[in-house]
Structure 1
Amino acid sequence: MSLSARIVTAASNTLRSIGQSLDRAGASLEVCKHADKLVPSTRFVAVDGIAPTISPHAAFVAPSASVIGDVTLDKNASVWYGATIRGDVHKVSIGENTIVGDRAVIHVAKIAGDHPSIIGKNVTIGPGAIVHAATIQDNVVIGPSAQVLDGAVVESNAILSAGAVVTPGTIVKSGEYWSGNPAKLQRKVSAEEMANAARVIQDTLALARMHAYENFKDMEQLLKDEEYYEDATTRDPEYYPYVPEGKKVEEEGDVLGMGSPGLIFDSVLTNPEEGLKVREKKRREEQK
């Protein structure tokens, strides 16, 4: 082997070794992985050895969300598509039934001030909203694209309108409705508004569970769902009856042990000799 070839080979081996080391280092940072799903897995990432703590009863964490560092997510909370929760220099705590809307951002502060983000129960954080190193008490509604900044406190049963900006250190009192930039008190929250906020929490919880179920499916299950849907919507109702997956094929709808025919069969032919016996039995009956 020539000198130049040996140099190229040595350099290639070195670069390959460096690349493998970087892959292993990156893999050690990601604490949760999913394979063969419809969309990429949620990014649960540890920071300084502290990984997010997600309740096993959390309603839903979207596959495109990022949950990073010292983050605690409680029972029935949901984090929607594109949202980012970043507890890299302080902690983030999110209470029961709380909704973190699409593309919302929750962050903390350590350099300019020292504030965690503490979010209570039954809180709705709208799409595109920002909670930066602030405290949000129970039953609060933060409108779409609203911002609650460093050291601010939003007390229970308060509402921030869409686009409201609560400046650093501001306290929004319980039961108040604020709007504007900078946000200011407009009026008291009505009983109807609070009742509507409670309904949104319950409706979103049901929706979150449905999204969690669908996103958990792998590609094999998605293909099965597509086949059964097409079969069910195109089969002539006068033809063999459609039999959903997991249901027992009725004897009169069975063909050679394969199930009811359509675009697909409802069961797999596992004993072909049995199918031949069925066909022979039917032939003899027809000859009598």
Structure 2
Amino acid sequence: MTSLGARVVLAASNAARKVGQSLDSLGKSMEVVKYSERLVPSTRFVAVDGLPPTVSTNTAFVAPNASVIGDVTLGKDASVWYGATVRGDVHKVVIGENTSVGDRAVIHVAKIQGDFPSIIGNNVTIGPGAIVHAATLKDSCVVAASAQVLDGAVVESNSIVAAGSVVTPGTVVAAGQYWAGNPAKMVRKVSEEELQLMASNALDTLELARMHAYECDKDLEQLTKDEEAYEDATTRDPEYFQPSPDGQKDEGDVLGQGSPGLIFDSVLTNPEEGLKFNQKKKAAQKE
């Protein structure tokens, strides 16, 4: 009997599946505008040949739409910003502490024409749209927006590669120098003021990264609460009862529900309060 029941259930489920598929096909044929929705897998962290990225538990921020792929090591307080790609598929990428990879920047490696990893030190700032391809960046240097540092090149500590510049393969940018142009050439020494600004910008970026990480890690419940709080703050009449700051109780609080006079002093028991509020709201909209 058990075997017979299992066969009946199996036959019924197969029949139901076929009926469902037939109905789905019929629905598709009746559509005016055909559309197929597909689930796109996340590319935030991707393993290559079974080797996933190594990300410090204290990494400051990796944007939801950034891609960290393969043999990549991210150090403490590092940040990878929106749309950036760090790809260690044919060689390794090592990114040190408090280093930021700007929006849409690309970090890659070389294996076919030359054999170079990308090694990036501590306190390095890589600007938005920059490309670091199989190169080495020492500590506390800056590769500005849309600049390129190509295969086998080395940028020494406390140096700056100006925006839009191209450091050609095998070039060495000496410590404390400012390079610009295509191909990039030394322009001058980096000033003390620029060195201080570089250090300050690295710290500012770290604080900003932590803020973005906090916001991006919020779940649906917290986002809903934030939206409700924002709506309340923008619509509540300043003359009406204001909510207490988080963690503070009202004077006369009863069982965590607020003061009795404020609990019952609402538009339900005092409709005129609601009428006044709506009148003020309409007047404000007209203005």
TM range (shorter): 0.7 to 0.9
Matching residue's letter, 1:223: T
Matching residue's letter, 2:72: V
| Aligned partners of 1:93 and 1:119 also within 8 Å | yes
Q: Does 1:56 align with 2:65?
A: no
Shift of 1:218: 1.4
User: 1:251 is paired with a residue of what secondary structure?
Assistant: coil
Q: Which residue of 2 aligns with 1:88?
A: 89
In structure 1, the gaps of 5 or more residues are 1-5, 13-25, 31-40, 264-288
Name whichever of 244-253 and 186-195 sits farther off.
Answer: 244-253
Matching residue's letter, 1:229: Y
Q: Which residue of 1 aligns with 2:197?
A: 196
User: 2:70 is paired with a residue of what secondary structure?
Assistant: strand
* Partner Cα separation in structure 2 for residue 82 and residue 130 of structure 1: 13
Q: Which residue of 1 aligns with 2:213?
A: 212
Q: Evaluate the alpha carbon distance shift between residue 166 and residue 61 of structure 1 in structure 2; reply closer, same or farther with a 3 A threshold.
A: same
Structure-2-length-normalised TM-score: 0.74
| Aligned partners of 1:235 and 1:262 also within 8 Å | no
What is the aligned counterpart of 2:258 among 254, 259, 268?
254
Pairing of 1:143-162 with structure 2 (within 5 A): 143-162=144-163
In structure 2, the gaps of 5 or more residues are 1-14, 22-38, 268-287
Deviations 1:32-77 (A, max 9, x none): xxxxxxxxx6610000111101111111111110000000000111
Q: Evaluate the alpha carbon distance shift between residue 247 and residue 233 of structure 1 in structure 2; reply closer, same or farther with a 3 A threshold.
A: farther
Shift of 1:240: 1.9
| Aligned partners of 1:71 and 1:85 also within 8 Å | yes
Matching residue's letter, 2:178: Y
* Partner Cα separation in structure 2 for residue 250 and residue 218 of structure 1: 32
Q: Evaluate the alpha carbon distance shift between residue 94 and residue 236 of structure 1 in structure 2; reply closer, same or farther with a 3 A threshold.
A: same
Q: Evaluate the alpha carbon distance shift between residue 116 and residue 227 of structure 1 in structure 2; reply closer, same or farther with a 3 A threshold.
A: same
Q: Evaluate the alpha carbon distance shift between residue 259 and residue 48 of structure 1 in structure 2; reply closer, same or farther with a 3 A threshold.
A: farther
Shift of 1:258: 9.9
Deviations 1:210-265 (A, max 9, x none): 000000011221111011122133323332231245543543683779969889xx
Q: Which residue of 2 aligns with 1:176?
A: 177
Q: Which residue of 2 aligns with 1:117?
A: 118
| Aligned partners of 1:231 and 1:262 also within 8 Å | no
Pairing of 1:101-112 with structure 2 (within 5 A): 101-112=102-113
Q: Which residue of 2 aligns with 1:75?
A: 76
Name whichever of 216-225 and 85-94 sits farther off.
Answer: 216-225
* Partner Cα separation in structure 2 for residue 164 and residue 49 of structure 1: 36
| Aligned partners of 2:249 and 2:258 also within 8 Å | no
Q: Does 1:240 align with 2:244?
A: no
Q: Which residue of 2 aligns with 1:280?
A: none
